[in-house]
Amino acid sequence: MTRPARAQLDILDLVPIAEGGSASDAISQTVDLAQQAEAWGYQRYWMAEHHNFRGVASSSTAVLIGHVAHHTSTIRVGAGGIMLPNHAPYVVAEQFGTLATMHPGRIDLGLGRAPGTDPATARALRRNEAAAMNFAAEVEELQGYLGEPDPDATVRAIPGEGTHVPIWILGSSHGGAQVAAALGLPYSFASHFAPAALMSALEVYRRGFQPSPLPDGLEEPRTMAGANVMVADTQAEAERLFTSVLERFRSIVTGRRSGLRPPAEAAPGPLLASWSPAERAAVTEMTRVSFVGTPSQVREDLESFTRATGVDEVIVTCGAYDPGARKRSLELLADAWS
């Protein structure tokens, strides 16, 4: 396995709505963070499709990508990801083809097949479960719309055709890894919330990878993994800030999805101990790929993680309640990583 001496560092922004805040606040904070991330040297800035989450403002992901791209200059902006079975591939091709036309060379399209929401909201989205079962064919259809123009095609994506928007396959299981390998596409694993199959899925992807025959396809595997981070000047402060992340995951486990909450009074250990055993076990497993501490400690932990996984890129997400603390955390990480 070959990989760079140091993995590329990217950001996944969940566009969190703080408790007591608004979606407007969250979007303004995202634009500010993206501008700072560009200055700090991060390579990608991705947002993810979620629906009916009181604490997340990224439901209209393509619109947000355009907004962030408009307010930045060089950083790649993209979806991590678009849940393809919620949409017609043709519509996604038009949306991202338009984005790539307005911001050439800067748009990424990560694709997943989960609903990104609860069953009732999935029905409201008119989600196509047949498309979810035939995910690979849906991805290939989308690739066709974004590929070389075909004047004889009955249906053409305009804008879209000829843009060759880079496509990533996202997943948290072997299914996505198999699709990415078969199509010769880069693969991103959602280890920031579902780490259980990380190592085995990466192995499935690498073992089964087939070079893409497309002109802009991959000749060898390219991998990314997600991680939660919280960096502060002291270990105690980083752990205190990270309690907001633990509370957010608990709200998902219990079905009471609230806005991003302020840090708890208790440290992570006592906080977890105050929960039910089931809640504690679920949140502990979901946040297993989390790096919390001082810049040097998080750098060492991230280096160990990239050595163990062999990933080419790590996409980090920071769930600090205070936007200033979130920016400070990612700035400290960028400085330490460079």
Give the chain's count of helices (H) and strands (E): 13, 9
- Type of residue numbered 232: A
Q: Are strands 44-47 and 76-83 parallel, antiparallel or unpaired?
A: parallel
Residue appearing with tokens 């769930």: 319
- Look-up: residue for tokens 């060492």? 300
Which residues on adjacent β-strands are paired with residue 11? 45, 316
Mean pLDDT by 10 residues, the chain (338 residues): 71 95 97 98 96 91 98 98 94 98 98 84 81 91 96 96 97 96 98 97 98 89 98 97 95 86 90 93 97 98 97 98 98 96
CB contact set of 151 (below 8 Å; sequence gap of 6+): none
Structure confidence at residue 5 (pLDDT):
56
CA distance 186 to 76: 16
Task: Assess contact for 171 and 142: CB atoms under 8 A.
Answer: no
- What is the third-level CATH fold of 8-235+290-337? TIM Barrel (3.20.20)
Instruction: Considering only CA atoms, give the Rg of the chain.
Output: 19
Q: Report the pLDDT value the prediction gives residue 1, as an integer from 0 to 100.
A: 43
The full set of domain ranges for the chain reads 8-235+290-337
Question: What is the value of pTM for the model shown?
Answer: 0.95
Residue 58 near residue 22 (C-beta atoms within 8 A): no
